[in-house]
Amino acid sequence: MKQAITGAKIFSDNEFFEHKALLIDDEKIIGIINQDSIEDSFKIKKLNGGILSPGFIDLQVNGGGGKLFNNSPDKESLDEIIKAHQHFGTTSIMPTVISDSLNVLKRCTSTISNEINNNKSLLGIHIEGPFFNVKYRGVHQKQYINTINNDYLNLFEGLQGFPVMLTLAPECISIKQLKHLKSLGFKILAGHTDASYDQLEEAIKYGLDGFTHLFNAMGQISAREPGVVGSALNFDSTAASIIVDLHHVHPSLIEMSYNQKPKGKLFFVSDSMATINHGEPSFELYDEVVRELDGRLINSEGKLAGSSITQIDAIKNAYCSCNIPLNDAISMATNYPAQYLGVGNYLGSLKSGYRADLAHFDIDFNIQNVWVAGKHLKQEAP
């Protein structure tokens, strides 16, 4: 079906377009035209103001809808997680499995392999751990922190046909292992790490291309050692994700990172947990209860355990609290993560031939409408 969407400011490629219409044919975008040039063959949907942007992309999603991927790595839970995030305009996700037993990791990767062609909002898998520095394990349980062995390598070699992100501590693997992981096509990110500047510089030569949740669970800046944070900000060729819930990172540091990293190299992730679009303010992780308190998810040790935001919250927080221009804030949840993952040729922008994944939100950053592959999922409130 041919559709023409009008009535909202259209955002694409870091620009806003007014008095325009977005044309869609079935699952694909045709283009952006003047709203008075719509042909009669198009069914017109008129929106009530606000902004129409590409659907949001989140490369670190632990859960949603009351489900945590680690706890129930099956199709039913995966569907619930995806639906929970679609409700808030996030139309593409990388379900994330955190450090756990090899059996849980196998079940998670098997589910993704089986479902990758059945759900358009599923991009691949983000494997966060278990190859970490125990010093910066965060909420990841010590018993699951491990080193790479043949069991893991055999599992990884079977992950073909979809994007894989692997967050690890570069100081805990060899360069030979890093080169092998890169040869599999993985995106390799440094996280939960105390690597030195020199170690990171060496790792970047052989495939490290990103940093996971900048500032959190990593070595900090000191006078004589840039640490992981300083290195991430210094190496222009690498990307970095950042959690903008205003609890994980101070707003001034989010703004500083935005100003320091080259355009397109800093993007938002939610690191969201089971509480997304779910009434219960608590859930179980590693057989202990994690509770939401004043917007923060905290475990029994008082450590932050992921977040309870989605990408629309990150956009709002970045714009309202971190002095990041709205066009860049939206791009940090759409085009920039798409480019990093290598799916920017069909997602993250409203270009001709791209998939019609769309998010429509009002001036208060409330999601009004969502489309996935041209299918309208959410109706604006009356």
Burial of 275-289, coded b for 16+ CB within 10 Å and e otherwise, reads bbbbeeeebebbeee
- Distance spanning both ends of the chain, measured CA to CA: 25
At 382 the pLDDT is 41
Residues of the chain with pLDDT under 70: 378-382
Tell how strand 2-6 and strand 20-25 pair up.
antiparallel
pTM value surpassing 0.85: yes
pLDDT digits (tens, 9 = 90+) for 176-211: 999 999 999 999 999 999 999 999 999 999 999 999
Single out the catalytic residue among 271, 294, 313, 364: 271
At 378 the pLDDT is 64
Q: How far is residue 175 from each of residues 166, 199, 206, 380, measured CA to CA in Å? A: 15, 10, 7, 51
CATH superfamily of 56-341: Metal-dependent hydrolases (3.20.20.140)
Domain range list for the chain: 2-53+358-378, 56-341
As given in the structure block, the two tokens for residue 37 are 């040039």
At 300 the pLDDT is 76
CATH pick for 2-53+358-378 out of 2.30.40.10, 3.40.50.300, 1.10.3720.10, 3.30.470.10: 2.30.40.10
At 282 the pLDDT is 76
271 noted as active-site residue: yes
At 314 the pLDDT is 98
The secondary structure of residue 333, as a DSSP letter, is T
Q: Mean pLDDT, the chain, as a whole number? A: 95
